[in-house]
Homo-oligomer: A and B are copies of this chain.
């Protein structure tokens, strides 16, 4: 019996990308430095940058007509550039939820029976084609999210593509564990049992991906590629203010699928507006069985409460820093100032609370008092925020007005050492900018320390001692969760104790990050992004669980003799 049918052209894609995929799988195992796509834009063909910019400019103010999915009307999007404050003027085909589900069901019936090797080959090819569009997507990302150019290029380009390849590598690992067919034979004495066994990975059902406005590609690609690899069609519901970047990816996939005789509706873009969202309607649909989501904790809890769904959630946490002892406080302060300022603190991994012992901090040149430590940290923020080149390159712009509102609300609750204030962007005078607030809390119990204040902020939290600070970190980890956590210590015993304690709370600690190594960054093929085990989220990019929860092995036995 042949359960799967081979498609020669798709099988060629598998052969084309197989070696690369095996390298990626090996990298995932080894976890040393490796990448599939270079993060340096100079590594790409010289013409690509101009081409990408041209494509971006040509797309502005026009319908996005690259998609291949049924739609009866066009939606003019809510996308507005945080730099120019002008609407991008794009419109997208708006597929009805019921039509999208129906198309996805039909796509599921086909896609689940494409051999996984052919699926993964085709998906590797799609990432390769996406790499030719990194520059256009970078511009689209910059002008929807407010990210500065460099981050927009790296996060929505090579770093996202690497996470996609990583998801495919882990899917390859897991899917290749079990053979497609095997003959099982057992001597029964007088007779011999012969049973042909077939194993097929079957997806849970249709996937929904709910995008976020700040990282419209990076946070989508792991789940998108994980679901597609296991045979689940994906409905992508981007944030209404950040559609363009991921629409490019969907268009590439749809074109490729059609080229290889498959329904382009294996991936669909479902657009909505801020005024008329469709996310709940999609999430609650009984045929939607897998949900990937990045965003606020409240909506995340709602998604988790839906019965019959497998969810992969990245929610909010309260990322924290503890300074026990340092070699060079100036260097540490610079590093932390960068981490807190990067993309105006709109990263899920940006630090918020900095716990500092009241008794002061030991350094290579002697003890520094609490006040001195606070002053050095504040000074580092001042310098970065006031630097005419660094500020725009690092801070970028705020995605939307509510970020600034939140930070201003915070100002009313804390003792402000440095007010959040706009900086003047040299190229974009209209840019929505805000440099970090630096504030001081009364102590670890202060309510402001127990809430995420998403945006540019650094909250200094005095604690009796480093040990009390460690306990406070553990409590916050259990209560609110963290996506990142930094501890500075020169004491090996304290380090080991902190690593173990926080590992028990499923929080990944970064010790003594300095220079150009920042806690915001998690690197594909080496770092897991999130652990999935603390309140900040229930998933991790990309562990085995991120793949295997999406499908089930189904065995078929055919008895030839018994």
Contact = CB atoms under 8 A, between A and B. Distances in A.
A307 B556 CA distance: 34
Contacts of A302: none
B30 A182 contact: yes
A518 B489 CA distance: 63
Given A179-B31, A545-B549, A1 B514 contact: no
Contacts of A500: 3, 113
Nearest to A546: B548
Interface string A167-210: 00000011001110011111010010101011110101000000
Contact of A202 (B307, B503, B557): B503
A307 B307 CA distance: 11
Given A32-B185, A526-B184, A531 B554 contact: yes
A552 interface: yes
A178 B29 contact: yes
A297 to B, nearest CB: 15
Nearest to A509: B556
Given A178-B29, A202-B506, A504-B112, A492 B1 contact: yes
Given A492-B1, A504-B112, A559 B511 contact: yes
Interface in A542-562: 543-545, 548-549, 552-562
Contact of A556 (B503, B513, B557): B503
A186 to B, nearest CB: 5
A501 to B, nearest CB: 10
Interface in A1-55: 1-3, 28-33
Interface string A475-514: 0000000000000000010011001100110111111111
Interface of A: 1-3, 28-33, 109, 112-113, 173-174, 177-179, 182-186, 188, 191, 193, 195, 197-200, 202, 204, 304-305, 307, 335, 492, 495-496, 499-500, 503-504, 506-517, 523, 526-528, 531-533, 540, 543-545, 548-549, 552-562
